[in-house]
Amino acid sequence: MVNCCGLVTAKNEPVPLKGVEVEVHVKGHVATVTSTLKYVNEEQSPIEAVFVFPLPGDAAVCHFGAKIGDAEVVAELQDKEKAREQYDDALSSGHQAFLLEESDKSPDVFRMNVGSLRPGESAAVSLVYIIELTVEADHALRFCLPAVLNPRYAPPETRLADVPQVTSVPAATVPYTLSLKVHLSSPQPITKVESKCPLEPLTFLNAEKTLAEASLSSGHKFNQDVELLFYYQDAHQPTAIVEAGSAKAEPGSLMGDPVVLLSLYPEFPASVTSSLATCGEFILVVDRSGSMDCTMHGGSGAQMRIDSARDTLLLLLKSLPMGCYFNIYGFGSHYESFFPKSVQYDQKTMDAALKKVQEMKADMGGTEILQPLKDIYSQPCLPGHPRQVFIFTDGEVWNTKLVLDLVKSNAHSHRYVRPALCPHLEYFDKCCVMRVVMLCVCRCFSFGIGEGASTALITGMAREGSGHAQFITGTERMQPKVMQSLRYALQPAVKDISIMWNLPEGLSVTTLSPPLNVIFQGQRALLYGQLKGQNSSDSEGSVTVKYNLAEQSVSNKLSFSLKPAGDTGLSLHRLGARALLRSMEQECGIGGPEQEGLKEKVLQLSLQSGVISSFTSFIGVLKGSGKAVQGPLLHRDVPTGHMMRMSCPMPQASRSAPRGMAYRKMCARSQAMPMMDACLVQSYPTTGFLVDVDMASVEREAQIDAEPQKDLLLQLIGLQKASGSWELDSSLITVFEKTEEEVAKETPSQADRAVFATILALIWLHGFKTEAQEEWEFLAMKASAWIRAQKVDYVPQCVQAGNALLGCEVQQEALGL
């Protein structure tokens, strides 16, 4: 099933949303966001405005209110079913009402109902949410205000009533503007603020540069996700903040007790970080739905998503260690794998995979990610090769919770069976050879591609799969972020993680965060804890994180003051409540007394903390005259921006015709079915025939007369052998922009041509592509290891000759030789 989203035209259904104002208060790693949406009814009849929009998946929504004229109303958090009934009753009684609720299917999608808005009347609706800022590879703190909500794919078995109906328009035509201002407060000096959107100059408010303000340039159209990067000095240092409880809350409750937030950056021993694993099973899962045939961003020269994915797969395949195992899956409405099961990585299998990668297209319909994951998890793990799943998708699905449940249930339960001579066996074969079942950890690394990727899906898969999540938006390149995740995947798996609290007598802690099951070098781990009991002095506490890493026992300790910080608005309490709510919601199944009891606990925690959940909604009623509204209450969907693509019906007589550029242009001009969807699929019930036609491909084929020249770095990468070496042939010489005569003249007479070619490639990378070192680092490591394995004594002469040929001055030590 495809969630179709009708185009809204100004002629037939005027859009009541006129503008969005956002205030962001950033304190350290936490941001409190206040969004105000301004509505105006310019029609002659009362309307009900409905707005389905995205929020970050882990946002703690804690306030909802509205102002109409001089009258204000603050919404209350209630049981979702009761809130809906109260909303309907209010409208039928002639009152104005406001309803905000989270989607049952995906926690990063919200629905707001504003009714009834009388002719000529305006309303300002505000909501407040709190989020954690994610940490980028360069230690920047990332804040993202999602604007684009692409229509999402729902599996065929999903009922239409279960899928929110999203009204969307091409991002470039979103009719309302955005005003955004950020107030920064940090324990460390603030160095800079960056964004792909135009910003006003950063203003510092004190000499220490720990207070600052930043804002978007005026008149900004809210037609793309707004991403801000905040840079602090020493932002990667471990920190701890204690927040006092509310005096109005019941003592001993979550909101009444203090809450501590620990931000940990575990440090691995140098002996471990200096080496990377040479084994593993790497399964690369690539979205090939129709929406991958859109551009990465709306600017000029933007690469298509599927093209970027192909380049990334090339880089990944070349970077894998010899002797590991791998497989590649493509998925859409169905899925397929390159090999029946994972194969060992060598020259033959790499070449076969690369040939199929070059043939990959965004031609598989909708975004059904659940089925390929089920197939992957159904296969036994390989002894000695930890499974690492890399998932690339634009994240446009509605069954988010089902996907996360699957990843979570398989992250630590995969098993393989090996022979053993141990008397404590689980299985016997017919010859009484003993078999023991071994646990195999399956880590998941996820990548959200382009505007509108579901934060709940991308971050959730990484969290539940003990991996790491990355988002590629705007003009960002996918390859550096993927290689960072590969480095994490090649780090040894951390085992037996334990957390020990050392608190003064009379105090104890209840952990609110899910169990810490993944640690990577250089990555932050956040822990929330509720401090219980009484402590007469402002003394210190500490927490120690212990784990086993590559047969070594490692511990990291952080001491912190128990004195509460200044007024933080209970933001840490609500984030802690949100973390606990998410864990409890994932345990809620369908039916059964245990699930019903857990649902009741979720409901009570949500109401106590004031943080919305999948079982609660915010409802506000502004009582008026009590007279019923005169005339029909018209339903108006407020459009959300999305990346442009179109699905068109195929004429009956042409269903067997090839779908070339001429046909796509014809479909683009067709007015028979003005629908927008993310999956680019129209199903014909009588035949089951599927057709995918999208405006991005139409524009691409119409504008591009010839393929652009391939990037020299990608050419070099494509020529590397699985072993890490290069051949000194005409293709490689072309990359160096030299002639064969020039190369022959500088080649040392005693040198093997492959050794000299590999040294030339390393010199070229270090001499001309230093800005892309994150991308080719693993390729260079393989190449250096291959050269050392040849055990030749003419390496210095080859380095000298290579520098002379290429005009570089790269030292032999820099090449790892």
CA pair distance 641, 643, nearest whole angstrom: 7
Backbone angles phi, psi at 336, to 5 degrees: -150, 150
Q: Residue 274 — very low, low, confident or very high, per pLDDT cuts 50/70/90?
A: low
Q: What is the pLDDT of residues 592-601, one digit of tens each?
A: 456 778 889 9
Q: How far apart are CA 385 and CA 374, in angstroms?
A: 20
Binning pLDDT at 50, 70 and 90, where does residue 590 land? very low
CB-based contact 646:669 (threshold 8 Å): no
* Helix or strand holding residue 712 (H, E): helix 712-719
The whole-angstrom distance between residue 382's C-alpha and the CA centroid of its chain comes to 28
Tokens at 229, concatenated: 């990067």
Per the model's pLDDT, the better-predicted residue between 433 and 78 turns out to be 78
Model pLDDT, residue 223: 64
Quote the radius of gyration of the chain (alpha carbons, Å).
29
Q: How many CB atoms lie within 10 A of CB 447?
A: 28
CA 778 to chain centre: 24
Domains recognised in the chain with CATH numbers = 16-235+611-623 (2.60.40.1730), 240-272+495-588 (2.60.40), 278-490 (3.40.50.410), 645-703 (no CATH), 712-815 (no CATH)
pLDDT tens digits along 546-578: 888 877 888 888 898 888 876 667 999 999 999
Residue 430: band (very low, low, confident or very high) from pLDDT cuts 50, 70, 90? very low
Residue 168, pLDDT > 60, answer: no
- When mean pLDDT is compared across 49-53, 583-587, 784-788, the lowest value belongs to 49-53
116 cis-preceded (ω within 30 degrees of 0): yes
Classify strands 177-185 and 17-27 as parallel, antiparallel or unpaired.
parallel
* Residue-by-residue DSSP string for 51-115: EEEE--TT-EEEEEEEEETTEEEE-EEEEHHHHHHHHHHHHHTT-EEEEEEE-SS-TTEEEEEEE
Per-residue confidence at 692, pLDDT binned at 50, 70, 90? very low
Q: Please name which of 747, 750, 746 lies closest in space to residue 794, comparing C-alpha atoms.
A: 750
| Strongest mean pLDDT among 182-196, 470-484, 570-584, 751-765 | 751-765
79 pLDDT above the threshold of 80 = yes
Pairing outcome for strands 60-68 and 122-132: antiparallel
Give the other-Cβ count within 10 Å of 788's Cβ.
12
Higher local confidence (pLDDT), 423 or 566? 566
What is the four-CA torsion angle of 280, 283, 284, 290, rounded to 10 degrees? -170
Tell me how far apart the alpha carbons of residues 672 and 148 are, in angstroms, rounded to a whole number. Answer: 26
The predicted-structure confidence for 331-345, as pLDDT tens digits, reads as follows: 998 999 999 999 999
- What is the side-by-side strand order in the sheet with 616-622? 76-79, 616-622, 96-102, 109-117, 47-54, 634-638
Average pLDDT score over residue span 492-518: 86
Looking at the predicted structure, is the pLDDT value of residue 192 above 50?
Answer: yes
pLDDT band at 677 (very low <50, low <70, confident <90, very high): very low
pLDDT of amino acid 335: 94
pLDDT at 9: 28
Residue 238 — pLDDT band, cuts 50, 70, 90? confident
Q: Is the model's pLDDT at 688 over the cut of 70? A: no
In 514-665, the DSSP E strands lie at: 525-533, 540-549, 552-561, 616-622, 634-638, 640-642
pLDDT at position 55, please?
Answer: 82
Element (H or E) spanning 787, and its range?
A: helix 773-790
- Band of residue 518 on the pLDDT scale cut at 50, 70, 90: confident
Looking at 233-242, 787-796, 805-814, which range is the least confident one?
Answer: 233-242
3-state secondary structure of 236: coil
Angle, CA 738 vertex, CA 737 and CA 739 arms, to 5°: 135
Residue 491, CA distances (Å) to 271, 318, 388, 440, 698 in order: 12, 18, 11, 16, 43
Residue pLDDT, tens place only, 147-162:
655 445 455 555 444 4
Mean pLDDT of the chain: 78
Query: What residues have CB less than 8 Å from 276, skipping those under 6 apart?
Result: 321, 487, 490, 491, 781
Say what the pLDDT of residue 680 is.
31
Residue 253: its H or E element: none
Which distant-in-sequence residues (6+ apart) come within 8 Å of 682 by Cβ?
A: 2, 647, 648, 649, 650, 673, 690, 691
Cβ atoms of 297 and 475 closer than 8 Å: yes
> pLDDT: is 99 or 170 the higher one?
99
Q: How sure is the predictor about 669, in pLDDT bands with cuts at 50, 70 and 90?
A: very low
CA atoms within 13 A on the CB side of 148: 27
DSSP at 652: G
Cβ–Cβ < 8 Å for 153, 197: no
Strand pairing class (177-185; 168-170): unpaired
Arithmetic mean of pLDDT, 20-36: 91
- One-letter amino acid of 526: L
Backbone φ, ψ for residue 490 (5° rounding): -85, -5
Better pLDDT: 279 or 338: 338
Between CA 35 and CA 180 the distance in angstroms is: 9
> What local confidence, expressed as pLDDT, does residue 574 receive?
95
Give CA–CA dist 806/743, Å, rounded.
Answer: 10
Share of the chain above pLDDT 70, in %: 77
Residue 584, token pair as written in the block? 């409890």
The pLDDT of residue 350 is: 96
Q: Kindly state the DSSP code that residue 657 receives in the 8-state scheme.
A: S
Distance CA 110, CA 603 (A): 18
| pLDDT at 676 (0 to 100) | 28
Residue 672, both tokens:
């028979």
Q: Is the dihedral of CA 701, 476, 442, 368 positive or negative?
A: negative
Higher pLDDT, 85 or 694: 85
Lowest model confidence (mean pLDDT) among 95-99, 397-401, 578-582: 397-401
Nearest Cα to Cα of residue 599 among 608, 607, 589, 609: 589
* Cα–Cα dist 171/54, whole Å: 14
**Separation CA 503–CA 541 (nearest Å):** 5
CA dist., res. 651 & res. 106, Å (int): 35
Give the DSSP per-residue string, 327-356. Answer: EEEEESSSEEESSSS-EE-SHHHHHHHHHH
pLDDT in the model for residue 727: 96
User: Residue 648 pLDDT > 60, yes or no?
Assistant: no
Q: Is 675 helix (H, G, I), strand (E, B) or coil?
A: strand
Express each pLDDT in 312-323 by its tens digit: 999 999 999 988
Q: What is the pLDDT of residues 600-625, one digit of tens each?
A: 999 999 999 999 998 999 999 987 64
At residue 779, does pLDDT exceed 90?
yes
Residue 193 has pLDDT above 50, yes or no: yes
Whether the Cβ atoms of residue 475 and residue 330 lie closer than 8 Å to each other:
no
Q: Of the ranges 222-231, 250-259, 679-688, which is most confident?
A: 250-259
Count CA atoms closer than 13 A to 260's CA, side-chain side: 26
Better-predicted residue by pLDDT, 108 or 390? 390
Angle at 50 between CA 105 and CA 198, to 5 degrees: 90
Q: Is 424 exposed, middle or buried (0-12, 13-18, 19+ CB in 10 A)?
A: exposed
Question: Tokens standing for 72?
Answer: 């204000």
Give 737's contacts (C-beta < 8 A, 6+ positions apart). Answer: none
Of 260, 258, 250, 74, nearest to 608 by C-alpha is 250
